[in-house]
Amino acid sequence: MPLVPPRLRSLALGLLLVAGCTGPLQPVFHAEAPVGPEPHPASYFTVGTPPVYTTEGVRIGTFNGEFLFDGRDGDGGATFAWKDDSAAARAHMEDVAAVIRTLDADLLLIPETENLGVLETMTAEMLAGLGYTPYLVNGQDSFTGQDVGLLSRLPIEEVGRINERAPVGLSNQTYGVSKNLWARLTLAGVPTTLVGVHFLARPDDTERKDRREAQAEVIRRFIAQEAAAGRAIVVLGDLNDFDDVTLDARASRPITDVLARIKRAGPSPDDDLTNVLGEVPQARRFTALYDRNRNDEIEEGELSAIDHVLLSPALYTRLREVHFVHAHDPRVVSDHFPIIVTLAE
């Protein structure tokens, strides 16, 4: 089992949906109440029920699995509770898989996946019968050993990764996106390129600002090329940054132009990407917990939105539902929450 206090494991798979929203063509609003009374402001979080979908369509999303590793063969240079412990790592995989089962996503990006073998184990055992095919393209993060994985029930035409680099500020250095994956497929009847990313961490760290902006530029160039080829675009994953227009639950403001740069994509405003963050009420706009004082409590200012789903116009017009799924205790399963969107022709 993961190395966490028993009192927290008892909360691990308590389930809550705290957000759903309208789609632009067929408005749908979900605001299922949490189980029990509204949380006291000091707690800032209550665990409740999983998403309930009310429209048909294809469901895609992102869910950072927080060091989704197997606990064998070396687990990189970072520290986490189930590192180099295969039994605890498997228990963590089971907890993450239990959340995934409730999402019923047709395609799910999973940042912080160790390797393809982890996803193969999950799909064959913990997610058996759900029809997922796993994908992962080995990345370049030699310190953490993390990569970006993908589970799909949809036909995938091609997968790859972006190896290009971009200038870092005004320096002579360049920087790339060590953890990324792209896939070409058809979504809601539209030829689409999906780009999954995991950017450099610590959104408020000024020393990392230029490097994360370089990562955004790498992605912007790639999606501009794909859009010029006539493909719709999805960018999703752990961007480790805040939206420049739509404030999250704690009203975070970015010190970078990461989201703005990616959203503007090609040469015209007509091809700009839209962040689905704006489709849910501000109080529900959070995707991750940062326990900054390490006191094992969820406090004011510790929940923010650093995971995102960005859609180009052809897909945004097909948006039917958005769910920011806060359906587990982030101190136990993963410190991130899923985002699931429904698209339909």
Q: For the whole model, what pTM was predicted?
A: 0.88
Over range 237-262, report the average pLDDT.
Answer: 97
Span 132-182, pLDDT tens digits:
999 999 999 999 999 999 999 999 999 999 999 999 999 999 999 999 999
Kindly report, residue by residue over 270-300, the tens digit of the pLDDT: 889 999 999 999 999 999 999 988 888 899 8
Q: What angle do CA 11, 236, 77 make, to 5 degrees?
A: 65
Residue 5 has pLDDT above 70, yes or no: no
Cβ atoms within 10 A of the Cβ of 55, count? 14
Which residue from 11, 12, 29, 9 is spatially nearest to 284, judged by alpha carbons?
A: 29
Amino acid at 188: A
Q: Which long-range contacts (CB under 8 A, 24 or more apart) does 131-137 make?
A: 135/159, 135/181, 135/183, 136/181, 137/161, 137/181
CA neighbours within 13 Å on the CB side: how many for 70? 12
**Dist. CA 165–CA 54, nearest whole Å:** 42
CA atoms of 13 and 7, how far apart (whole Å): 12
Provide the residue count of the chain. Answer: 345
> What whole-number distance in Å separates Cα of residue 308 and Cα of residue 24?
18
Mean pLDDT score across all residues of the chain: 89
What average pLDDT score do residues 197-226 get? 97
Backbone dihedral angles phi then psi of residue 213, each to the nearest 5 degrees = -65, -35
pLDDT of residue 266: 78
* Contacts of 74 by beta carbon, 8 Å cutoff, 6+ apart: 84, 145
Q: Is 199:235 a contact under the CB 8 Å cutoff?
A: no
In contact, 285 and 324? CB cutoff 8 Å: yes
* Token pair listed for 262: 């990616």
Q: What is the CA radius of gyration of the chain?
A: 19
Q: Is the dihedral of CA 245, 247, 253, 254 positive or negative?
A: negative
Mention every residue, 6+ apart, whose C-beta is less than 8 A from residue 295.
none
- Report how far residue 8's alpha carbon sits from residue 128's, in angstroms, rounded to the nearest whole number: 27
Model confidence at 226: pLDDT above 50: yes
Select from 3.60.10.10, 3.20.20.70, 3.40.190.10, 3.10.200.10 the CATH code of 59-279+300-316: 3.60.10.10
Segment (H or E) for 135 = strand 133-136
- Identity of residue 316: Y
Three-state SS at 151? strand
User: Cβ distance 185 to 154 under 8 Å?
Assistant: yes
Residue-wise pLDDT for 91-136, tens only, equals: 999 999 999 999 999 999 999 999 999 999 999 999 999 999 999 9
